[in-house]
Amino acid sequence: MRFRFAHATHPDGGTAVELCLLQLARQAGDGPSQRRPNLGFVYLTDVLAPQAEAILALLKLRTGVANWVGASAAAVCATGAEYVDEPALAIMLGRFAPGSFNVFSGTQRPPAPGTRTDRSEVAASTALVHADPDAPELPELIVDMAQKVDSGRLFGGLASGREPRLTVADRVLRGGLSGAVFAASVPIVSRVTQGCHPLPGSRRHTITGCGANRVDTLDDERAVDVLLRETGLVEPAVAPGTGPRPTEGRAREAHKVLKALGRQGLIFAGIEPGRGAAAEPRRPGEQYLVRPVVAIDASSGTVAIGAPVERGYSLRFCSRDETAARKDLTRICSEIRDELHERSEQQRRPVQARGAVYVSCIGRGTHLFGEPHEELRLIARQLGDVPLVGFYADGEISGRSLYGYTGVLTVFC
């Protein structure tokens, strides 16, 4: 049975709720729509954040649903639509088997590892996680939460927008992590789109010298020389028979390249931790954590990126643009369709999408796809009229990693 969903814009939170309730009421009469929901998803723009407690109380009262999860954000989205810089609300109502989900927060602990439901299924298989971007040691908190679910995989994102940045877990919260843990009996398909592709002619390099978020050498070569060569925007530092170029000229070239990269969207590095026993297994398209190149220093030959690095990590310079974003978003939608088909074949009965949550980066949307709503319309064209709600985050969560500039699409089926 399909989940019910609704979205509306209005400066008064109570009116926005009522507009959503009208949409939900119409869907309640549809045969495929889910009745007697027991878990609500709510995403509201930061303009409505000061009214969050009143909105949540009204939603509980009018829907009869006691359990809610969600977050505030700079923008929210629903099937085929996004709301940016306006007071808006997106909600979805789903029904899950009793005991198959647990809302958690700093005051509500998730089921302990190894806990079983009344049906003898793993009680904590995966989790939808919302987080305060200002929470101390956030990457470590995410890894710790991933260790509390049997699959080791999370999905979700960080609240965004103006203060107060809030999350919802049966009540309105600030700080830490919150969300819902789902049992193994809840079928979920989740994929990450990073919207990037390797620069033409680039290759994977090993970080051989570094410090904090600074890359000094790649394969024992100055990192800045590798970057400038692989962009193709300047000639190599050493031309045959000429010797090294002067530092001053090299600095001017580096500055020119950095500006050009910013205009063209070629300012990212895909990093992959070393493949030790503790390395996290990743699906295709998730192997690299894509982080921005934030500075280059021609004098020292270093490249600074927006993430800590260590010796032995792999790095590959990437391009991020509209074409790559469209192609990669189409890819994950295709993978989700294929997995639903495979499950249908295995179970010998139709397996369909009941509802979806999409968490995208605040740097995507119109900024990346060229026009309003296009990111959500592309998903709708690929997946069909699937009930979907979500938000634009200050960081996206998938597996046990905190991503940036990505989209995390999760389907309940």
Q: What is the pLDDT along the chain (413 residues), one digit of tens a residue?
A: 899 999 999 999 999 999 999 999 999 866 665 678 999 999 999 999 999 999 999 999 999 999 999 999 999 999 999 999 999 999 999 999 999 999 999 999 999 988 998 888 999 999 999 999 999 999 999 999 999 999 999 999 999 999 999 999 999 999 999 999 999 999 999 999 998 888 887 899 999 999 999 999 999 999 988 988 888 755 555 444 444 454 556 556 666 666 566 555 567 898 987 643 334 545 545 567 888 888 888 788 999 998 899 999 999 998 888 988 999 999 999 999 999 999 999 998 998 999 999 999 998 999 899 899 999 999 999 999 999 999 999 999 999 999 888 999 999 99
In one letter, which amino acid is 266?
L
**The model's pTM:** 0.88
Q: Are 142 and 131 in contact (CB under 8 A)?
A: yes
**Distance between CA atoms of residues 337 and 354, nearest Å:** 13
What phi and psi values does residue 151 have, to the nearest 5 degrees? -80, -15
Residue located via tokens 């010796």: 311
**Distance between CA atoms of residues 390 and 402, nearest Å:** 17
Alpha helices (runs of H) in 293-401, residue ranges in sequence order: 322-347, 366-369, 374-383
Rg (CA), the chain: 23
pLDDT at 277 (0 to 100): 33
Alpha helices (runs of H) in 348-391, residue ranges in sequence order: 366-369, 374-383
Question: How many Cα atoms sit within 13 Å of 335 on the Cβ side?
Answer: 16
Which sequence spans correspond to the domains of the chain?
4-187+351-412, 196-320
Angle at 72 between CA 69 and CA 75, to 5 degrees: 120
> How would you class 19 by CB atoms within 10 Å of its CB: exposed for 0-12, middle for 13-18, buried for 19 or more?
middle
Q: Are 237 and 245 in contact (CB under 8 A)?
A: yes
Q: Are 364 and 153 in contact (CB under 8 A)?
A: no
Distances (CA, A) of 149 to 105, 129, 330, 390: 15, 12, 29, 22
pLDDT at 199 (0 to 100): 82
* Strand order through the sheet with 39-45: 4-9, 88-94, 39-45, 68-73, 167-169, 172-173
DSSP per-residue letters across 237-270: SEETTTEEPPHHHHHHHHHHHHHHHHHHT--EEE
Q: Which candidate, 5, 4, 26, 7, places its Cα nearest to that of 16?
A: 7
Q: Which candidate, 139, 190, 196, 134, places its Cα nearest to that of 167?
A: 134
Q: Residues near 349 by Cβ (< 8 Å), separated by ≥ 6?
A: none
**Distance between CA atoms of residues 200 and 404, nearest Å:** 22
CB atoms within 10 A of CB 77: 28
Chain Cα centroid distance, residue 296: 27
